[in-house]
Amino acid sequence: YSQLDPFPEGFLWSGSTSAYQVEGATLEDGKGPSVVDLRTQFPEGTSDYKVASDHYHRFREDVALFGEMGLKAYRFSVSWSRVIPDGDGEVNPQGIEFYRNLIGELRSKGIEPIVTLYHFDLPAALHERGGWSNRETIDAFERYARILFEEFGGEVKYWLGINEQNMMILHGDAIGTSGEDHDDSDPHKDLYQQNHHMMLAQARAFNALHEMLPEAKIGPAPNIAIVYAATSKPEDMLAADSYNAIRNWLYLDMAVHGRYNSTAWAYLRAHGWEPKMEDGDLELLASAKADYVAFNYYSSMTVQADHRSMTETKSSAGDQQLGASDPGVQEPADNPNLEKTAFGWEIDTVGFRITFRQIWERYHLPLLVTENGLGAPDTLEADGSVHDGYRIDYLRSHIHAMQEAITDGVEVMGYSPWSAIDLISTHSGVTKRYGFIYVDRDEFDLRTLDRFKKDSFYWYQRVIEANGLPD
């Protein structure tokens, strides 16, 4: 294009976090443990989540910085076990108070809260009763969602259901949140049963919101990465199409159209992994409707046809591609056309634009980017500055691709990069930083926990001011 369309008025320039990665105070003020707090094994050299960024104690300072950066919105998740310590029993008033104060603080700075109901941190007490394998967790989730809608519905217009449900299923044990609940004799079968239950739970939450708060809006938040074929061989193209169905469309077809994607369902049947259904399940799924499609995007994926038998295994192309290896169907492949981040994740801005187009053409709902960003080890200079030009480059090129997608005709309502402030990564500790705001701590030394504005903070401030990329 010789000229790009502008970002729409009221575009939600935002930043994202999740409760367990940013809050800390894991067992304070009545909070019950979540599966994340049960975790005892961490990749070597990485910290746990006990203090995280200490946002629980410093949220006022953090929100003031978000306000200074100019954020129009802030996406965060509520910790289910902070609000209901055992997942389905008594409500913890101090948990409600924390989120009420946070939301109040955001509103006072003119920042729109975007609230994720569930971001990987299932209450430990529910996990002990079978977690998502147990249908009772569906009831507990609906009750929890209704409590949040009741408590915060007056102040919160934008809601998200389950964060990266597809990653929880495809990564299984790797995320460590649902993996331990499964029956080891056939982990996939159990994971797809859990998946079915999560879909029902999310459908109940969508319906509850629409019934209780007709003005509010809700959508799913899977990780969507467009899948390329490694070559133009039709078999590779077929593998890419299959993996697109299993990885992406299964989740969005359900959230938008309320039905199982046919290719994905055929895949589940072929493996004997189709979930058990109860009467009324399909009707419930069909009745729930998303108001927008929120999605997390870090990079594209590339796969090729796989001719291994089910019992053979091969090495995967890195943690970003984890879950893409499926003997007899597809295996991940490196994409030689893409550069990688310091942590080996491929960078693909064109893939971002294609992802926008594909989601839009399939669903015709407004799109909200709920995560996108660059994880890198930053350096705090003696004068308190952090020169993260690499992050600015990543974000700039993705914002440009998003604007191209808008010019292609895609309706995009907001952009919420990961992360508003430094936090603990899912697998690589605090060393893999994503934030606009530096938190002074390292893996095991908590140092001052003071906040410092990175170069990307000032740059994003200018983007927001200009409602688009500054000249």
Contacts with ligand BG6, 212-241, as mask; x by CB under 6 A: -----------x------------------
User: Does 340 contact ligand BG6 by CB under 6 A?
Assistant: no
Q: How far is the C-alpha of 220 from the C-alpha of 162, rounded, in Å?
A: 6
430 CB neighbour count, 10 Å cutoff: 21
Residue 278 falls in the annotated catalytic set: no
Single out the catalytic residue among 105, 142, 371, 404.
371
User: Does 427 contact ligand BG6 by CB under 6 A?
Assistant: yes
Choices 46-54, 163-171, 258-266, 308-316 (CB under 6 A): range interacting with ligand BG6: 163-171
The residue (of 134 and 177) whose beta carbon lies closer to ligand BG6 is 177
Residue 465 falls in the annotated catalytic set: no
The residue (of 2 and 41) whose beta carbon lies closer to ligand BG6 is 41
Contacting ligand BG6 within 1-20 (CB under 6 A): 18
**What is the number of the residue whose Cβ is closest to ligand BG6?**
425
Choices 31-39, 346-354, 422-430, 462-470 (CB under 6 A): range interacting with ligand BG6: 422-430
- Taken in order 102, 108, 114, 117, the sign of the CA dihedral is positive
Single out the catalytic residue among 164, 331, 346, 404.
164
Our CA angle for 435, 436, 437, nearest 5°, is: 85
Size of residue set near ligand BG6 by CB under 6 A = 15
**Which residues, including other chains, have CB under 8 Å from residue 347's CB and lie 6 or more apart?**
299, 338, 339, 340, 341, 374, 394, 397
User: Does 425 contact ligand BG6 by CB under 6 A?
Assistant: yes
User: Does 163 contact ligand BG6 by CB under 6 A?
Assistant: yes
User: Does 117 contact ligand BG6 by CB under 6 A?
Assistant: no
Choose which of 243, 415, 418, 457 interacts with ligand BG6 (CB under 6 A): 418
Choose which of 137, 195, 296, 330 interacts with ligand BG6 (CB under 6 A): 296
Choices 29-37, 161-169, 328-336, 450-458 (CB under 6 A): range interacting with ligand BG6: 161-169
User: Does 75 contact ligand BG6 by CB under 6 A?
Assistant: no
Q: How far is the C-alpha of 112 from the C-alpha of 416, rounded, in Å?
A: 12
User: Does 371 contact ligand BG6 by CB under 6 A?
Assistant: yes
Nearest approach in angstroms of CB 118 to ligand BG6 is: 11
Choose which of 127, 396, 432, 433 interacts with ligand BG6 (CB under 6 A): 432
Choose which of 375, 417, 429, 435 interacts with ligand BG6 (CB under 6 A): 375
The residue (of 170 and 333) whose beta carbon lies closer to ligand BG6 is 170
The residue (of 22 and 303) whose beta carbon lies closer to ligand BG6 is 22
Q: How far is the C-alpha of 281 from the C-alpha of 258, rounded, in Å?
A: 11
The residue (of 20 and 260) whose beta carbon lies closer to ligand BG6 is 20
Choices 93-101, 274-282, 378-386, 424-432 (CB under 6 A): range interacting with ligand BG6: 424-432
The residue (of 58 and 432) whose beta carbon lies closer to ligand BG6 is 432
Nearest approach in angstroms of CB 255 to ligand BG6 is: 16
- Annotated catalytic residues are 164, 371
Q: What residue ranges bind ligand BG6 (CB under 6 A)?
A: 18, 21, 163-164, 167, 223, 296, 371, 375, 418, 425-428, 432
